[in-house]
Amino acid sequence: MTLFCHNFLERYFLPHGIVVSVIYCLGLMSLWTFIAGFLSRKNRVERLSYIQESFKDYFGRDPLEINIIIVQYKEATEDFIEASWIGIGLLSVVSIASLLFIVLIAYFTLAELTKRAGIMSESTKRQQNQLMKALIVQTITPTIACFSPCFFSWYLPVFGIDGGELLQLISAVEMSAFPFFDPLSTILVLPVLRRQIKKVFGYQDPSTTNIIVQNRVQTSCL
């Protein structure tokens, strides 16, 4: 949008698009909160007692003493099993829809950039390649760090597969590290951002230094 529809972006996205984006994020937060409340209101003590011993063995904590919500697909009341499926189903729809939205935006952006590659200058083409890399990274990172751990944790028990402590540790590390690695991956992909980070730490790129020196020499000669 910034490259090819700048006027449209300024006219409609500012501020309307920003407001819609904020409302969309608040809607997702509200839906997750509603689902958590929907699951937590049904026989909480009885359900947590079911996992009490195994939870203590894994984490050394009593689940009745902390704020935690669980789902059960069997060995529970029919009412709660139904609530578990409804909750996980809604969360799956929201997660998949968000992921598809990211993939579609990336696809249409890459398609538009590829279509206009023939009329771009060399500088714009370089920016295009950098943008493509950044889009790919921005699509893959949340898929691996956020969607995959949740998906495996939700659905492995359906098939009687115990992910064990390893899955729990990997999921916890991935989701905790996501806020750090998401911007870091973009910074590493885009040269402009890389140079700024190097400058912060006092490292000057030799190629950039040579260009600055040459420009100064040319200016002094003039």
Pair 129, 60 in one domain:
yes
CA distance 1 to 7: 9
- Residues 122, 216 within the same domain: no
Residues 199 and 94 placed together within one structural domain of the fold: no
Query: Which of 166, 182, 198 is the last residue in one of the domains?
Result: 182
- Confidence category of residue 212, pLDDT binned at 50, 70, 90: very low
Mean pLDDT, rounded, of the chain: 75
Tell me if 10 is assigned to some domain: yes
| Tens digits of residue pLDDT in 69-117 | 777 788 777 887 888 888 888 888 888 888 888 788 778 777 777 777 6
Structural domains in the chain (count) = 2
**In this predicted model, what pLDDT tens digit does every residue of 115-154 receive, in sequence order?**
776 776 777 777 777 777 777 787 787 777 777 887 888 8
Structural domain range at position 205? 190-222
> 3 in helix, strand or coil?
coil
Distances (CA, A) of 146 to 23, 139, 140: 21, 11, 10
Could you tell me if 76 and 175 lie in one domain? yes
The answer to whether residues 57 and 140 belong to one domain is yes
Give yes or no: residues 161 and 222 share one domain. no
My answer on whether 168 and 203 are in the same domain is no
Q: Pick left, alpha or beta for residue 84 (phi over 0 → left; psi -120 to 50 → alpha; otherwise beta).
A: alpha
Q: Report the distance separating Cα 200 and Cα 198, nearest Å.
A: 5
Answer yes or no: do 139 and 195 share one domain.
no
| Count of C-beta atoms within a 10 Å radius of residue 134 | 18
In a domain, 141, yes or no: yes
1 domain-assigned: no
As a whole number of angstroms, the distance between CA 200 and CA 103 comes to 33
Considering the domain architecture, whether residues 150 and 198 belong to the same structural domain is answered as: no
The two tokens of residue 169 are 């540790």
Q: Examine the domain organization and report whether 37 and 67 are in the same domain.
A: yes
Q: What single letter denotes the amino acid at residue 42?
A: K
Domain co-membership, 54 together with 135 = yes
Q: Is the pLDDT of residue 198 over 70?
A: yes
* pTM across the whole model: 0.64
Q: Tell me, yes or no, whether 116 lies in a domain.
A: yes
Q: Rounded to an integer, what distance in angstroms lies between the CA atom of residue 133 and that of residue 126?
A: 11
Task: Please tell me whether residues 30 and 128 are part of one structural domain.
Answer: yes
